Amino acid sequence: MPSRSEISYFGAGPAALPTSVLETASAAILNHENSGVGLIEQSHRSANSINIITSACEHLRNLLNIPEGYSVLWMQGGGTTQFAAVVYNLVGHWVQTQLDANNGDLEAVKKALGSARADYLVTGSWSKKAAEEAARITGGAGKLTRVAVNAKAATGKFGAIPPESQWELTPAENSIFSYYCDNETVDGVEFPAFPAALEGRLVACDMSSNILSRRVDVSKYAILYAGAQKNVGGAGVTLVVVKDEVLKKQASEEALRALGLPVPPIMLYYPTLTGAGSLYNTLPIFDVFICREVMAGLLARGGLEVQEKVAAQKAALLYGALGRAGGFYKVVPEKSVRSRMNICFRIEAGEEVEKAFLEGAEAKGLTGLKGHRSVGGLRISNYNSVLVEAAEKLAAWIEEFAKERK
């Protein structure tokens, strides 16, 4: 049986965690801070637990340089639960904004609803699921939500982001919000930067698979969220950064019902959860603890300015090795939108050769390289926990295998 140090794991999530964090967590499970009680056993409302949440929030604020006027929230349910939470909270915010502008006139707001839409940029599997969930909640596609970008339309598969000139955004005055997924884990597509076309709009963003890998201008977003299990921690907790204006300005249940709009479940209603300091119910404190320790390590190594350079260095190593193989490998996405986090590729010689590639890689301790079940192929998940040395080892195998098979 191999030791942990002999394995380089490139799985898409749950992803690898720093060994030092796991060692600290292992001790905390048995006896947290000499309390005689394991961290998993402690009350989520104890002083220890509240300190963990508070310090985790501070670490995130420091790493992302979160400005005043934003709240940090820890939730359960993974990123997928946020597909619904985003809709409930931003529709509620839009309704109250309209009521304020129309002196509480519900009929005027009802009329505005006729042309108001939330725009979804569908650039991969996860944004597609988010758009489908939004349509399901609001009464069907086109009623309150619409697909403003369908990156699959032209080719029948994901792997590109159309030029912004081709986006069919709702006019700004009728826009409820705009939504996109910053990095698509299944399809290997990543937005190079914040879309210029969304400047000045209310924007929600799924950053589950590239959060804390580069610097972000939080002020451009109304909501950003991330499931922890890629770059921050383990599965079981989701971080949410939400603009305070969204929290403070929410329509009442009575107004939403009068307009025929859905009322948010209490566990998806951000104002309730932030008002309770993320402790409206029993939050998995151990998962937040893991996130805190991972973020403390990032801060100690120089924060996101350093991590951004490391992520780019590793991605360049891996894409460079694939490119030097003279066409033996085919990188799936277009070059301009290739993800730094999820490097998706195929071997032109076919699935049997891909299987041989995986077997050879595992023999060298390079694991977790199989593509998502929905698309097949091969995928390198180059998250923050992947060391440069591991990327170098994998790059060497990529080149070695291509030479052997040519």
Taking only Cα atoms into account, the Rg of the chain, rounded to an integer number of angstroms, comes to 22
**Bridging pattern class, strands 189-190 and 183-184:** antiparallel
Q: At what angle do helices 125-138 and 78-101 cross, to 10 degrees?
A: 50
Per the residue annotation, which of 119, 187, 206, 287 is the catalytic one? 206
Q: Nearest-CA neighbor of 266 among 89, 79, 137?
A: 89
244 is catalytic: no
230 is catalytic: yes
Per the residue annotation, which of 128, 230, 243, 314 is the catalytic one? 230
Per the residue annotation, which of 119, 126, 182, 187 is the catalytic one? 126
Place of tokens 């598969």: 157
206 is catalytic: yes
Q: Looking at the annotation, which residues are catalytic?
A: 126, 206, 230
